[in-house]
Amino acid sequence: MKIAIAGFGALGSRVGIKLQKAGHEVTGIDGWPAHIAAINTKGLKVVNDAGESKRYFMPVVTPKEIHGTFDLIILLTKTPQLNQMLTDIAHIITPQTKLLVLSNGLGNIEVIQKHVDREQIYAGVTLWTSSLAAPGEIHVTGTGSIRLQAIGGGDAEDIITALNQGELNAELSRDVMTDIWRKAGINAVLNPLSVLLDASIAEFGTAGNQMELSLGILNEIKAVGEAVGIRVDVQDIMDTLAELLKPEVAGAHYPSMYQDIQGAKRTEIDFLNGYFAKLGAQHQISMPINSLITQLIHAKEDIVRVK
């Protein structure tokens, strides 16, 4: 398959390497000059858990430079960057192009629908992780999986097959919106609280009231889910959180929002707690905890920029 990865950052480049290793023709699309230059000259450096590193070569170009057509474009920008990326690569999208979004958060499908027909959209959630240590260098740990579904009701088999040729452990989701909400629920707890409490995931797990804090956020999400017909299983999310908070599982890992704040970048808060709060307001559901968390993260984004 001819595949472009739009957003060749931490996760996009990890996914890209795996697909290229499986024999797919992969091109990365990114706009960070130092990152592109490093990959195109020295290859992408991938460091694993054991500290071993390998370099991988593949073409990475800017949206302006990309040309031709692709069977599949995997969208892996940060959620607030998605609309701009789709605008910038509009010239390579044809009615036959399939677009698979794996970015976190809510609202991605609405954004993509502004650019292409619903029948071209595939959405998924992924448990693969990766972090950018420097331009052209990612650090990867453990394994992951992907669950995806065709949003326009079509068949996702060819995409699932391609992803599994790259050992990405992909499977069909029968209800990807529930999967997306479930993951957004987990992220709506771990991401902002790590920033506001200045804590790694394992450190958050040591807080005596971590369950109360998590339930406060999740019960509001459950209420708004009921209003829009999406079932949010709070107990299931709490069980997953309990697993993730174990020091042997979490290690010294900080969620991506913590890393965004450290890098003075805009966070995905409006597509997590902020999205739920907005939806709550539209349905007259009181969402005080998620609203306050959204405001606090926006304040933090402004403060780190002037520091």
Count, residues near ligand NAD per rule CB under 6 A: 27
Q: Which is nearer to ligand NAD, 78 or 182 (CB)?
A: 78
Give the nearest distance from C-beta 212 to ligand NAD in angstroms. 26
Does 76 bind ligand NAD (CB under 6 A)? Our answer is yes
The SS3 call for residue 55 is: strand
What ranges make up the beta strands (E) of 93-188? Answer: 98-101, 121-126, 131-134, 137-139, 146-150, 170-172
Residue with CB nearest ligand NAD? 9
Angle at 184 between CA 179 and CA 187, to 5 degrees: 130
Rg (CA), the chain: 19
Give the nearest distance from C-beta 38 to ligand NAD in angstroms. 12
Contact 220, 290 (CB under 8 A): yes
Does 32 bind ligand NAD (CB under 6 A)? Our answer is yes
The contacts of residue 14 (CB under 8 Å, 6+ apart) are 46, 128, 130, 138, 140
When binding is defined by CB under 6 A, the residue of 1, 5, 12, 221 that contacts ligand NAD is: 12
Length of the chain equals: 307
Q: Which is nearer to ligand NAD, 268 or 301 (CB)?
A: 268
Q: Which is nearer to ligand NAD, 32 or 56 (CB)?
A: 32
* Pairing outcome for strands 53-56 and 25-29: unpaired
Indicate if 183 belongs to the active site.
yes
**Residues 56-75: x/- map of binding to ligand NAD (CB under 6 A)?**
-------x------------
Q: Where do contacts with ligand NAD occur on this chain (CB under 6 A)?
A: 7-12, 30-32, 35, 63, 76-79, 81, 84-85, 88, 103-104, 126, 129-130, 132, 256, 268
List the catalytic residues.
183
